[in-house]
Amino acid sequence: MAEKIFIKYLHSFGKIYSEESGEIGEGVYRIILDPIDGSDNFLSQIPYFGSSIALELEDEVLVGIICNFANGDIFVKTKEYFKTAKLGKISFKEEVLNSCSSVGIFERAYRSKVYAKKLYNAEIKYRIPGASALSFAYAHRVDFVIFEGKMREYDAKAGLFMCENLYKYEYNDLILICKDLKQFQFLKNILLGDAS
């Protein structure tokens, strides 16, 4: 149902690539859509789910929009700005780094074969909320975001676009994003050791 609503309003802007139906329509612009990011959370009534949309032209993301339907947070990023607002109260403000954060996010840690144990041994605190695009959108507010496993395009396009000004390491099955260089280097060393 969510996908049908998005298609109704977005199809005139270009070809849609959706998690649910694959490629839909035509156009020069491509819209990468995850209609319900965190669908298991939604079904389980865990308040961390939303939607993710990226608009790209010739493989370059121009706009990313991510919304957390549970708390109303909206994130909008273009090449010129990164702003946030609340649903029902669309008064946008610049997204800023949270200097008081004390925890990170580790998406898919429940499937971790290597990195969860390394973080445990180093006594690094994190949460596993279960909606990758949302977690990338919140990267400016937490200590770090880690994703381990195969990344699907609709999980990553808008969210990683929102992280382009942060420190990022991406290789094979690991994505590490930090807002602070020292934290980034520290975590990269813990996760990769001499392999980096």
Report the C-alpha dihedral over residues 11, 17, 67, 124, rounded to 10 degrees.
-170
Provide the residue type at 164 as one letter.
E
Find the angle CA(161)-CA(48)-CA(158) to the nearest 5 degrees: 15
Round to whole Å and give the CA distance between 187 and 196.
11
Q: Are strands 50-57 and 22-24 parallel, antiparallel or unpaired?
A: unpaired
What letter represents residue 39's amino acid?
Answer: S
Token representation of residue 53: 């949309």
Six-digit token string for 153 = 């395009």
Query: pTM for the complete prediction?
Result: 0.91
Domains located in the chain, CATH noted: 2-94 (3.30.540.10), 104-195 (3.40.190.80)
Q: What are phi and psi of 41, to 5 degrees?
A: -60, -45
Per-residue pLDDT tens, the chain, 196 aa: give them. Answer: 889 999 999 989 999 998 778 899 899 999 999 999 999 999 999 999 999 999 999 999 999 999 999 999 999 999 999 999 999 887 899 998 898 899 999 999 999 988 999 999 999 999 999 999 999 999 999 999 999 988 888 778 999 999 999 999 998 889 999 999 999 999 999 999 854 4
Are the CB atoms for 188 and 196 separated by under 8 Å? yes
**155 and 34 in contact (C-beta within 8 Å)?**
yes
CA gap 74, 65 in Å, rounded: 7
